């Protein structure tokens, strides 16, 4: 086996690899028994993008304006194209449980020639619009944005924040409700609906404050402290479905339509100052991020329960007081590192995680999202907040400064509509129905278990498990979940002759569409069972190595977080060896005879890069960065996640059109421009000669127009990548031997190191590392895989 | 020395008038004669007809205290600008310089009486308006020209030639002085007084060459020529016109720091100080030869015949002193006996302190504790360190020892004073308090003269004056002197807004802002609260103020560390705007809860770094947050089973929360004043703990009336912030060996046994210090007391005020009685009673009070008057009024059975810091007739002589004013002449009388007189009386009658009966 041809991956990515269903499985053919499944090494798992908008090329069926039919409980699966329909008897048979269901009266017109959309074979994924139909009560709820802004930052940063905020406010739809919380040493909740003067509720930063206390103190409990001065109780104000009076009052006071509070907001932003509390020498600023988020959550809980709303937190540093504190204000105490976490030497960590866990629960029960935009050179505590962000399906962006394009452009993206829109949706729940014998172990990804036990719950739990329904407070087009399955055939089903050759899995997602209405999306997939242990060929045919790599990366990340003393590298190596032993072609104890099916050919390389990636080698990063990488890994599509694990490298040169090259130091050449897409960063790397020419200004001479084009094209390519991605990746432009070149070198296979410098081609490069190269890795793998 | 009363008020004529000619020299700007208020009764100026002077034995009558000798309140003219003669006020030319003085050009700006810069109320709104507003009131034509702003009725001015005495006081009919005509040369009084008031003494007026420590708003530069009486430094009189709005300010308490006295000037007319009782000192006591026989109906003691024979007309009653006494504190090397606190006197400090600052219950100290015990009398000092001086008095001098700091005894740390004895040619000095011999610092050395005194003794104030101030050196500073910080905290809960209390508070604050001390060190902040606390950031840069709400009222905090409290110069306008908008902003507030305690605590946190004054305007029972209270009163009533026995528990604070809070406030130099404008029970017993611990006080407006109370609220606030005061004070009283301080009583916080901490100490606050013997004192020696008060002036100077009093020691019981100070002793009794109220059943407190009286009298009877017939009730002359006062005390609001809890608690809280001067009227009010003000012709004072407090003096066709320094009750009989009603109240019938009285000035003689009288009383009491109307047949009328202490009441004896009771008790003890 040799290194897989990098060009092989490219065509796969070009088409829509997720298909119309946006579901990818590690194995498209499933073994029937538990034992067989475990011998497959790579778990049976599916990645699902429940709100994915298919490419325009594939004509998606329009959403259906009526309610779906459900199978009788306990199955409750929705009618789908795989159902067998008896048109004469007006009966459909559920493919999952084989129950017979009568069509209701309004399906009376059904016939072979008159089939409802959900039964069309191409409609394995279909959406229903529920509510919001003409005649339904009330307009769809407006989107709600509650901004939480850190003011413990220097003037310059605050100016950037203000700029970003002004842009955001301008982009918001008129009817969107906006609220503002600023915080530093204390939390300031701005009452935007008070016109006489700027009115601010101040909460102390040091004290954990319960939701009830917040409501009571804001006078939002309805009883007792009602009646605040001068609340304009306009009946024409934003009335949200089902809001009780206190909530309405709160909405009128703290959350206002952009059209009404634009002026107030802009005045507020103009006058917003850095935190006024003094910072003593040798101390960090007092920053009460935890309380600020509690207050924001409490406010939304009172005003907008059950309605989609986002808390958008802009953080400029670590929380140093109150709940959620990650480091003391004393500068002599450094912010925790992975080493500290490993040695249990991070005194605030567990407490903070517990706090955010509670906050996550609260937000989930309210159906609200926490987005975090952390822009600081220091860590801000993402590692601790991860639970709250991930459980609510929030967005997260980590950058160095509010002035950095990673923040600026990403922040803008969330408010943009149209083609660029992220398709931010709210209040999603996903339910999974499957054929008998299939159990769900759990989900890794931005969701929370709704703790709804059911027959499909497996005994072993991975991620959010022990339930048949999950909550996704926030989801968008890219949101992807990884569902882990278990095969546990019952006595009866293992009886031969009774077996159905197909397995069915149905994902039912209901969510609040960006346009406001509630939708239900049903995706039903059908796959094959593979009988017996001998039939590896079918299994091999059904293997999706990209999905498998991503699933393993997610799985191992989870294990690293959950299990102490977990040796990820070793675990990966063993798994890979087992996999190769099981599915490779070889003669025992003859490494040279080893070869892999093309469905597996890329897999060892993925594993090699995963071992070297930020997901496994966490010690090179801060806990915040690790948390950030993992959150994105868990929520992105398979294609994007693969890029995180194994960056793509494209070469631009005069000799050939832009083409993928090996992610290897050998790909560096003096007359090449390389474009590395490592997902979080995009690196444009000019070979030495190219850099020299450029520095001499050839590109500006008419006779060297071609050179100018050559220089330009990687930039264009990079912009394409950047445009379609959230968070916006960091763009690094560097030259060979420049200091920034490390962004590229770190990702390359060290096939040439200082140890092997003698046989390096001129113009190429070497990497100063002791890491093994992919070639060495493969040699070992082959040797171990064929051992008996 | 006695000076006739007329001369007393230091009204000097215009500068040019010189020595007062007795003839009617009209002041140049004198008003036309036609303006005379009392037509027909202008006394011939040259013919004093002293109505009250008693030939031979001039009795001093109880006269209204005149601190500043400012002219009594004046005029009732609506358009008179306040006292302070505002520039915008009356045309300057009509102004008589009050004290003679100031060039007329000056007077408009620097009103001699401390005229408030602000004018008085000219608005029709009940509150007086800011200065600018003053002028817009249309002036009744007649009135304008002649009203001298400060002076008495114009008539007086013109008719009364004596430029110096032509006091408005005596205005119309009074002879220039009330002294015995024969005994004093006519010119004497004027001559004697002139220096005090005369323009000739301007140089004296500059105090210490430094800015006046408590400068009034006018803040005249030191070098400037202030008006003679220190008007420039005086505080703006807080009491402005009555609610009617157009009335001139009623009174301006004079400068607290008298100025301009020229010691030498008084020599000619100097006379012996007179005993309060009017008897020469040696006329009292047994076995002493009388230098002169007093022509009293009783002698040598006050005698009352046996019960059956008691003649109600013969029993002792206070007599009003009408003449001004000039009092030298030490004469012939001995302490002189100070005049009665309530009399008008001018003090010349010759070694002992001014008795206003500190006076003792007895003017000779018993050598042994046994003797003291036998006498039954208390030994206590009443210290009022910032008491307002008479305007004619020399100010307390400031001494700067530079780096060295004040000379102190190295053992007991007492400060240098005139009684420290220098020996060894001045190389050493012996401490008069502990007896330790100290080395004289070389820098301070001075040779002794032949008389054994240091040669420089007379040049050094600390060696010749009883009271002196030292500049504090670094060792007295734990931090930089604090700025003058004022934080206003306003209740905006539903009830407060609905009753108008919020609006009243905002308006009062807004107007009072201009009375805050000027300068960069004056800082203000503001907050409001209901069930949350609202702070306001008034940063100048911001277009509109920022409202910061602290919603957590269980565990409060300050929302900002800066920007909540700013220099007034930076935020004055914003603040005024905000104050205007607060009532509007909260007008629809439906929150009934009020987080008083939490709001105080939060404000405190905002002020913590500096300290300062926290002024809280509260309207309802604090119901939520820390320190919240419950309606205990109702609980107490419903739970009758506990009965009276436990009733007093409701007068104790409900728990320790507020006390703990208050102690923390005090520790950080935050003083709380609480203005309670309420219509229900607010549990003053609990609330008052905070002001009482932090050096503040409770103001109580119950039931609050948006019509009549805002004027008082404003005036109270104004006086509160503008009166002389000091911040972050620590006080200690030291005394000679043989005695030791037993305890301190007053509004302060005590953390160590020896010192008391006063976040703020002001001119109205008195502290009582009790002593006990721990050894014998030598007869013929002197026992010294020294009060040292370290404080920061409102302008940020750290000073030590040292007040010394050295009194002879005696072994003779009779001397103790003879030199007893009735008013001080009685104040002691009142305070002790107030102290007992929260811890004992009322009946027990009354019994204690009565038995204190009986014990004293019995001791006298037994040891000093045993020869008298046992059938006679013998009273020591000095204490002859003790039974009457005691009786009054048992019937007072605090001790009577039928009062509301809050009224009683309020009384207790007031008494805690009340001065001698105000303690007596609080218990023993003054009653005068109003209906015949225009017809009385035999009086020389503005306020007619008081009527005896019994119902025989109340006639159905009369209108009477009874005042106790806090409240004024106007009683209207039911057959009053409608014309009189019309004149005074502007209504034609009894039925038309409003319940909420706003005494408006009307354009008639009687109305002017009434307003004048009320204003004069306000000035005397330093308090804007809360006027209430009492009608016969009404509950209010019954209440009025219950204040007539000589009457027999349902729960109390009549005066005669009480004397009989006392006599019987004494007799039974004797046998």
- The answer, yes or no, to whether residue B242 has pLDDT greater than 80, is no
CA torsion sign, B893 to B894 to B898 to B900?
positive
Å between B582 CA and nearest CA of chain A:
10
pLDDT mean over B952-979: 91
pLDDT at B327 over 90: yes
Tokens found for residue A481: 């979940």
The H or E element spanning position B848 is helix B842-863
Element (H, E) at B282: none
Give the CATH fold of the B925-1044 domain.
Severin (3.40.20)
- From A154-168, B277-291, B600-614, the region with the lowest mean pLDDT: B277-291
Alpha-carbon gap, residue B389 to B402, rounded angstroms: 27
CA distance A653 to A659: 9
Strand pairing class (B522-529; B565-567): antiparallel
For B94-151, write each residue's pLDDT tens digit: 333 333 333 333 333 333 333 333 333 333 333 333 333 333 333 343 333 333 334 3
Q: Which residues of chain A make contact with B593, given a CB cutoff of 8 A? A: 224-225
pLDDT band at B13 (very low <50, low <70, confident <90, very high): very low
Of B251, B209, B248, B254, residue with least CA distance to B234: B254
Pick from A200, A204, A229: CB nearest B546: A200
A112 or A628: which leads in pLDDT: A628
The mean per-residue pLDDT over the stretch A52-64 comes to 70
DSSP A286: P
CATH, domain range B821-924+1057-1070: 1.20.120.730
DSSP string, A676-698: EE-SSEEEEEE-HHHHHHHHHTG
Residue A167 has a pLDDT of 93
In chain A, the residue whose alpha carbon lies closest to the alpha carbon of B492 is: A229
Report yes or no: B629 and B901 within 8 Å, Cβ to Cβ. Answer: no
CA angle at residue B977 from B973 to B982, to 5 degrees? Answer: 100
Instruction: For chain B, say whether A226 makes contact (Cβ under 8 Å).
Output: yes
**What residue ranges do the domains of chain B occupy?**
485-722, 821-924+1057-1070, 925-1044
Q: E strand or H helix at A591, and its extent?
A: strand A590-595
- Name the residue in chain B with its Cα closest to that of A230: B588
Architecture of domain A17-67+123-141+424-490+499-531: Sandwich (2.60)
Residues near A600 by beta carbon (within 8 Å), at least 6 away in sequence = A540, A543, A545, A579, A580, A583, A584
pLDDT at A228 over 60: no
**Where does the pLDDT of residue A530 fall: very low under 50, low under 70, confident under 90, or very high at 90 and above?**
confident
CA distances to A92, A168, A503, A528, B884 from A97, in Å = 12, 49, 11, 16, 105
- Cβ pairs A/B, distance under 8 A: 88
Does the pLDDT of residue B637 top 80, yes or no? no
How many whole angstroms separate alpha carbon A367 and alpha carbon A468? 18
Structural contact between residues A707 and A650, judged by C-beta atoms closer than 8 angstroms: no
pLDDT at A222 over 60: no
Q: Is A209 on the interface with B (CB under 8 A)?
A: yes
Chain B residues with beta carbon closer than 8 angstroms to that of A218 = 551
Cross-chain residue pair B561–A198, CB shorter than 8 Å: no
Residue A12 predicted with pLDDT over 70 = no
**In angstroms, how far is the first alpha carbon of chain A from the final one?**
19
pLDDT of residue B645: 57
User: What are the pLDDT digits (tens) for A273-322?
Assistant: 888 888 889 999 999 999 999 999 999 988 888 888 999 999 999 999 99
Distance CA B214, CA B396 (A): 13
Cα–Cα distance for residue pair B411/B438, rounded to 1 Å? 8
Q: How far is B491 from chain A (nearest CA, A)?
A: 14
pLDDT at residue B61, as a whole number? 41
pLDDT of residue A567: 92
Range from A3-7, A660-664, B169-173, B857-861 carrying the lowest mean pLDDT = B169-173
More confident residue, B611 or A133: B611
Of the listed ranges A77-86, A430-439, A656-665, B248-257, the one predicted with least confidence: B248-257
Predicted local confidence at residue A666, as pLDDT = 87
Residue A763: exposure state from Cβ atoms within 10 A (0-12, 13-18, ≥19) = middle
- A227 in reach of chain B (CB within 8 A): yes
- Which string of b and e fits A379-410 if b means at least 16 CB within 10 Å? bbbbbbbbbbbbbbbbbbbbbebbbbebbbbb
Residue (of B178, B366, B181, B155) closest to B810 by Cα position: B366
- The ipTM (two decimal places) reads 0.84
Give DSSP secondary structure letters for A519-559. Answer: EEEEEEEEEEEE-SSS-HHHHHHTB-HHHHHHHHHHHHHHH
Directed axis angle between helix A568-583 and helix A603-612, to 10°?
Answer: 170
Contacts with B551 from chain A: Cβ below 8 Å: 201-203, 217-219
What pLDDT is recorded for position B86? 36
Minimal CA separation from A204 to chain B, in Å: 7
Is the domain defined by A623-787 classed in CATH 3.40.20.10? yes
Query: In the structure, what pLDDT confidence band is assigned to residue A335 with cuts at 50, 70 and 90?
Result: very high
d(CA A722, CA A715): 10
Specify the pLDDT at position B539. 76
pLDDT in tens, A670-723: 999 999 999 999 999 999 999 999 999 999 999 898 999 999 999 999 999 998
pLDDT of residue A162: 95
Question: Which of B209-223, B715-729, B945-959, B1048-1062 has the least mean pLDDT?
Answer: B209-223
CA distance B612 to chain A (A): 21
B335 has a pLDDT exceeding 70: yes
Q: Could you give the dihedral angle defined by the CA atoms of residues A522, A528, A533 and A539, in that order, rounded to the nearest 10 degrees?
A: -90
- The predicted model gives B806-820 an average pLDDT of 94
* Helix-then-strand count for chain A, H and E: 21, 29
Residues in A touching B555 (Cβ below 8 Å): 204, 207
How big is chain B by its Cα radius of gyration, in Å?
Answer: 27
Identify the pLDDT of residue B817: 94
Where do the H-state alpha helices sit in A3-152? 6-14, 34-39
Residue A243 reports pLDDT greater than 50: no
Contact in structure between A728 and A741 (CB atoms under 8 Å):
no
Of A194, A218, A226, the CB nearest to B551: A218
pLDDT for res A16: 61
Higher pLDDT, A707 or B37: A707
Beta bridge pairs of residue A114: A111
pTM of the model: 0.79
Query: Which is more confident, B291 or A585?
Result: A585
Check: CB of residue A81 under 8 Å from CB of residue A121.
Answer: yes
Give the model confidence (pLDDT) of B363-403 as tens digits: 999 999 999 999 999 999 999 999 999 999 999 999 999 99
| Cα→Cα distances B541→B486, B526, B538, B577, Å | 21, 18, 8, 15
A228–B544 C-beta distance less than 8 A? no
% pLDDT > 70, chain A = 89
Nearest chain B residue (CA) to A186: B559
Tokens of B672: 């709380």
pLDDT tens profile B183-196: 333 333 333 333 33
- For chain A positions 159-198, those within 8 Å of chain B (CB to CB) are 186, 188, 194, 196-198
B1024 vs A763, which has greater pLDDT? B1024
- What is the third-level CATH fold of A70-122? SH3 type barrels. (2.30.30)
- What superfamily in CATH does domain B485-722 come from? von Willebrand factor, type A domain (3.40.50.410)
CATH 3.40.640.10 fits A144-218+252-414, yes or no: no
Please state, in angstroms and as integers, the Cα–Cα distance from residue B700 to each residue in A220, A243, B904, B966, following that order: 35, 45, 12, 10
How far apart, in whole angstroms, are the C-alpha atoms of residue B681 and residue B467?
A: 43
Q: How many CA atoms lie within 13 A of B27 on its CB side?
A: 41
Per the document, the length of chain B is 1071
Comparing CB atoms, the residue among B535, B552, B588 nearest residue A203 is B552
What's the rounded mean pLDDT across residues B434-451? 93
What is the average pLDDT score of chain B?
75
Domain segments of chain A as ranges: 17-67+123-141+424-490+499-531, 70-122, 144-218+252-414, 623-787
Looking at residue B906, what is its pLDDT? Answer: 94
Angle at B49 between CA B48 and CA B55, to 5 degrees: 110
- How far A190 CA sits from the closest chain B CA (Å)? 9
Nearest to A239 by CA among A309, A132, A141, A143: A141
Residue A259: count of CB within 10 angstroms of its CB: 11
Torsion angles phi and psi, residue A38, rounded to 5: -70, -25
Q: Do B561 and A196 touch (CB under 8 A)?
A: no
Mean pLDDT score of chain A, rounded to an integer? 86
Q: What pLDDT digit, counting tens, does each position of A630-672 carry?
A: 999 999 999 999 999 999 999 999 888 899 999 998 899 899 9
Instruction: Please compute the mean of the pLDDT values over residues B899-917 and round it to a whole number.
Output: 93
Over range B301-309, report the average pLDDT.
59
B290-304, B321-335, B619-633, B773-787: which has the minimum mean pLDDT?
B290-304
- Identify the pLDDT of residue B831: 96
CA-nearest residue to A271 within chain B is B542
Confidence of residue A112 (pLDDT cuts 50, 70, 90): confident
Average pLDDT over residues B564-587: 91
CA distance A334 to B843: 70
């Amino acid at each position: 086996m040799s290194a897989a041809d990098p060009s092989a991956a490219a065509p796969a990515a070009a088409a829509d690899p997720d298909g119309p269903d946006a579901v990818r499985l590690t194995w498209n053919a499933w073994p029937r028994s538990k034992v067989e499944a475990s011998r497959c090494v790579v778990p049976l798992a599916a990645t699902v993008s429940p709100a994915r908008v298919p490419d325009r090329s594939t004509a998606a069926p329009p959403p259906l304006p009526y309610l779906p039919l459900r199978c009788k409980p306990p199955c409750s699966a929705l009618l789908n194209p795989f159902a067998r329909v008896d048109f004469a008897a007006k009966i459909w048979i559920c493919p999952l449980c084989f129950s017979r269901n009568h069509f209701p009266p309004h399906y009376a017109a059904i016939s072979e020639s008159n089939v409802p959309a959900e039964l069309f074979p191409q409609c394995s994924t279909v959406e229903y619009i529920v509510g919001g139909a003409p005649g339904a009560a009330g307009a769809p709820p407006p989107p709600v944005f509650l901004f939480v802004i850190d003011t413990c930052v220097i003037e310059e940063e605050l100016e950037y924040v203000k700029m970003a905020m002004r842009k955001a406010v301008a982009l918001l739809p008129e009817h969107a409700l906006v609220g503002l919380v600023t915080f530093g040493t204390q939390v300031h909740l701005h009452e935007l609906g008070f016109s006489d003067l700027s009115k601010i509720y101040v909460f102390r930063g040091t004290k954990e404050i319960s939701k009830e206390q917040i409501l009571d103190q804001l006078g939002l409990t309805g009883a007792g402290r009602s009646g605040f001065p001068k609340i304009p109780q306009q009946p024409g104000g934003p009335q949200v479905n089902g809001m009780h009076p206190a909530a309405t009052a709160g909405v009128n006071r703290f959350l206002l339509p952009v059209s009404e509070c634009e002026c107030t907001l802009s005045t507020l932003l103009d006058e917003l100052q850095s935190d006024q509390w003094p910072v003593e020498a040798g101390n960090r600023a007092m920053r009460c991020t935890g309380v600020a988020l509690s207050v924001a959550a409490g406010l939304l809980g009172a005003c907008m329960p059950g309605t989609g709303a986002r808390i958008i937190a802009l953080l400029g540093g670590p929380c140093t007081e109150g709940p959620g504190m990650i480091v003391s204000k004393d500068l002599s105490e450094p912010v925790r590192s992975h080493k500290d976490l490993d040695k249990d030497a991070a005194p605030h960590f567990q407490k903070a995680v517990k706090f955010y866990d509670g906050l996550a629960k609260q937000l989930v029960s309210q159906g609200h999202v926490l987005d975090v935009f952390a822009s600081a050179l220091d860590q801000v505590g993402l590692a601790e907040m991860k639970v709250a962000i991930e459980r609510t399906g929030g967005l997260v962006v980590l950058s160095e400064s509010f002035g950095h394009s990673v923040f600026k452009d990403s922040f803008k993206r969330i408010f943009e509509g149209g083609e660029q829109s992220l398709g931010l949706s709210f209040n999603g729940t996903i339910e999974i129905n499957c054929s008998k014998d299939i159990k769900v172990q759990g989900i890794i990804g931005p969701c929370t278990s709704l703790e709804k036990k059911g027959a499909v719950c497996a005994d072993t739990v991975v991620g959010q498990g022990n339930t048949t329904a999950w909550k996704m407070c926030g989801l968008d087009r890219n949101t992807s979940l990884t569902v882990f399955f278990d095969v546990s055939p019952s006595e009866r089903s293992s009886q031969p002759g009774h077996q159905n050759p197909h397995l069915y899995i149905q994902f039912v997602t209901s969510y609040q569409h960006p346009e406001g209405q509630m939708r239900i999306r049903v995706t039903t997939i059908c796959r094959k069972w593979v009988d017996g242990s001998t039939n590896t060929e079918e299994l091999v045919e059904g293997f999706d190595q990209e999905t498998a790599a991503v699933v393993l990366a997610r799985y191992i990340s989870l294990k690293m977080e959950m299990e102490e003393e977990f040796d990820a590298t070793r675990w990966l190596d063993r798994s890979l060896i087992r996999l190769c032993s099981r599915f490779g072609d070889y003669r025992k104890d003859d490494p040279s005879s080893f070869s892999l099916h093309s469905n597996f050919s890329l897999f060892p390389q993925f594993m090699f890069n995963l071992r070297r990636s930020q997901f496994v080698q966490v010690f090179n990063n801060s806990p915040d960065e690790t948390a950030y990488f993992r959150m994105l890994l868990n929520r992105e599509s398979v294609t994007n996640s693969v890029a995180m694990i194994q960056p793509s490298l494209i070469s631009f040169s005069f000799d050939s059109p832009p083409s993928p090259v090996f992610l290897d130091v050998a790909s560096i050449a003096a007359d090449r421009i390389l474009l590395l897409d490592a997902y979080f960063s995009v690196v444009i790397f000019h070979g030495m000669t190219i850099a020299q020419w450029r520095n001499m200004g050839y590109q500006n001479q008419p006779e060297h127009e071609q050179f100018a084009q050559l220089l330009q094209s990687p930039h264009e390519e990079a912009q394409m990548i950047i445009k379609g991605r959230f968070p916006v990746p960091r763009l690094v432009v560097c030259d060979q031997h420049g200091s920034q070149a490390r962004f590229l070198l770190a990702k390359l296979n060290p096939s040439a190191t200082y140890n092997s410098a003698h046989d390096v081609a001129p113009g190429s490069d070497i990497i100063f590392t002791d890491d093994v190269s992919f070639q060495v890795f493969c040699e070992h793998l082959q040797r171990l895989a064929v051992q008996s | 020395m006695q000076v006739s009363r007329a001369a007393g008020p230091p009204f000097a004529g215009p500068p040019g008038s010189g020595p007062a000619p007795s003839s009617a020299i009209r002041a140049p700007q004198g008003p036309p004669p036609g303006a005379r208020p009392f037509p027909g009764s202008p006394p011939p100026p040259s013919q004093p007809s002293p109505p009250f002077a008693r030939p031979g034995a001039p009795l001093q009558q109880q006269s209204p205290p005149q601190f500043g000798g400012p002219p009594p309140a004046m005029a009732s003219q609506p358009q008179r600008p306040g006292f302070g003669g505002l520039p915008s006020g009356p045309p300057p030319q009509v102004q008589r310089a009050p004290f003679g003085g100031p060039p007329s050009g000056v007077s408009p700006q620097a009103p001699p009486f401390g005229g408030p810069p602000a004018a008085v109320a000219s608005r029709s709104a009940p509150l007086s308006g800011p200065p600018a507003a003053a002028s817009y009131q249309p002036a009744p034509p007649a009135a304008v020209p002649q009203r001298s702003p400060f002076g008495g009725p114009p008539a007086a001015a013109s008719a009364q030639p004596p430029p110096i005495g032509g006091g408005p006081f005596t205005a119309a009919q009074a002879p220039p002085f009330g002294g015995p005509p024969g005994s004093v040369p006519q010119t004497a009084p004027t001559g004697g007084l002139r220096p005090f008031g005369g323009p000739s003494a301007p140089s004296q007026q500059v105090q210490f060459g430094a800015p006046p420590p408590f400068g009034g708003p006018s803040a005249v530069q030191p070098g400037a020529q202030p008006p003679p009486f220190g008007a420039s430094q005086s505080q703006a009189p807080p009491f402005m016109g009555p609610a009617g709005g157009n009335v001139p300010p009623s009174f301006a308490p004079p400068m607290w720091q008298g100025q301009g006295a020229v010691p030498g000037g008084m020599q000619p007319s100097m006379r012996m100080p007179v005993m309060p009782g009017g008897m020469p000192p040696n006329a009292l006591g047994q076995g002493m030869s009388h230098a002169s026989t007093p022509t009293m109906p009783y002698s040598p003691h006050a005698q009352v015949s046996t019960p059956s024979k008691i003649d109600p007309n013969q029993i002792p009653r206070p007599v009003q002193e009408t003449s001004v006494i000039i009092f030298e504190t030490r004469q012939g090397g001995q302490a002189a006996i100070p005049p009665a606190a309530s009399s008008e006197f001018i003090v010349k400090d010759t070694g002992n302190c001014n008795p206003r600052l500190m006076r003792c219950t007895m003017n000779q100290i018993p050598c042994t504790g046994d003797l003291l015990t036998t006498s039954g009398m208390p030994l206590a000092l009443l210290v009022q360190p910032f008491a307002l001086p008479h305007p004619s008095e020399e100010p307390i001098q400031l001494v700067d020892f530079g780096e060295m700091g004040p000379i102190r005894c190295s053992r007991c740390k007492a400060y240098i004073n005139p009684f420290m004895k220098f020996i060894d040619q001045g190389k050493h000095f012996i401490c008069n308090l502990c007896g330790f011999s100290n080395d004289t610092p070389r820098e301070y050395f001075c040779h002794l003269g032949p008389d054994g005194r240091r040669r420089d003794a007379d040049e050094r104030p600390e060696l010749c004056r009883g009271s002196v101030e030292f500049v504090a050196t670094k060792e007295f500073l734990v931090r930089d002197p604090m700025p003058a910080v004022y934080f206003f905290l306003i209740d905006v809960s539903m009830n407060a807004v609905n009753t108008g209390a919020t609006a009243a508070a905002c308006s009062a604050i807004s107007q009072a802002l201009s009375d805050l001390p000027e300068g960069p060190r004056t800082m203000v902040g503001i907050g409001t609260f209901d069930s949350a606390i609202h702070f306001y950031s008034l940063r100048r840069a911001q277009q509109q103020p920022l409202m910061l709400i602290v919603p957590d009222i269980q565990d409060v905090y300050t929302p900002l560390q800066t920007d909540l409290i700013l220099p007034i110069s930076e935020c004055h306008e914003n603040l005024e705007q905000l104050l205007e908008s607060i009532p509007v902003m909260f007008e629809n507030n439906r929150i009934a809860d009020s987080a008083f305690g939490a709001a105080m605590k939060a404000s405190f946190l905002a002020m913590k770094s500096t300290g300062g004054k926290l002024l809280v305007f509260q309207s309802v029972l604090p119901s939520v947050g820390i320190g919240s209270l419950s309606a205990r009163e109702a609980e107490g009533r419903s739970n009758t089973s506990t009965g009276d026995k436990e009733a007093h528990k409701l007068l104790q604070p409900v728990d320790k929360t507020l006390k703990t809070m208050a102690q923390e406030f005090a520790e950080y130099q935050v003083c709380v004043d609480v203005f309670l404008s309420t219509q229900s029970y607010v549990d003053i017993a609990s609330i008052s703990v905070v002001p009482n611990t932090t050096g503040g006080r409770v103001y109580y407006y119950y039931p609050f009336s948006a019509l009549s109370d805002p004027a008082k609220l404003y005036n109270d606030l104004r006086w509160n912030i503008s009166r002389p005061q000091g911040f972050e004070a620590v006080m200690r009283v030291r005394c000679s060996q043989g005695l030791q301080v037993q305890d301190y009583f007053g509004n302060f916080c005590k953390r160590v046994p020896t010192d008391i901490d006063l976040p703020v100490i002001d001119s109205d606050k008195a502290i009582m210090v009790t002593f006990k013997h721990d050894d014998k004192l030598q007869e013929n020696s002197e026992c010294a007391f020294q009060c040292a008060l370290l404080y920061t002036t409102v302008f940020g100077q750290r000073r030590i005020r040292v007040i010394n009093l050295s009194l002879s020691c005696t072994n003779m019981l009779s001397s103790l009685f003879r030199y007893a100070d009735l008013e001080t002793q009685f104040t002691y009794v009142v305070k002790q009673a107030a102290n007992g109220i929260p811890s004992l059943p009322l009946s027990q407190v009354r019994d204690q009070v009565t038995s204190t009286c009986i014990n004293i009298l019995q001791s006298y009877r037994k040891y000093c008057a045993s020869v008298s017939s046992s059938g006679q009730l013998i009273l020591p002359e000095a204490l002859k009024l003790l039974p009457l006062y005691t009786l009054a005390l048992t019937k007072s609001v605090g001790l009577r059975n039928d009062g509301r809890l809050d009224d009683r608690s309020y009384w207790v809280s007031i008494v805690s810091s009340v001065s001698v001067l105000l303690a007596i009227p609080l218990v023993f009010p003054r009653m005068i007739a109003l209906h015949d003000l225009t017809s009385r012709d035999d009086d020389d004072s503005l306020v007619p002589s008081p009527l005896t407090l019994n119902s025989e003096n109340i006639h159905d066709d009369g209108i009477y004013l009874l005042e106790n320094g806090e409240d004024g009750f106007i009683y209207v009989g039911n057959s009053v002449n409608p014309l009189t009603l019309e004149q005074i109240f502007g209504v034609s019938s009894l039925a038309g009388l409003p319940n909420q009285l706003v005494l408006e000035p009307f354009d008639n003689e009687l109305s002017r007189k009434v307003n004048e009288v009320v204003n004069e009383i306000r000035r005397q009491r330093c308090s804007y009386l809360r006027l209430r109307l009492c009608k016969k047949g009404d509950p209010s009328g019954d209440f009025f009658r219950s204040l007539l202490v000589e009457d027999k009441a349902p729960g109390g004896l009549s005066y005669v009966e009480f004397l009989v009771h006392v006599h019987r008790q004494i007799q039974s003890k004797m046998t």
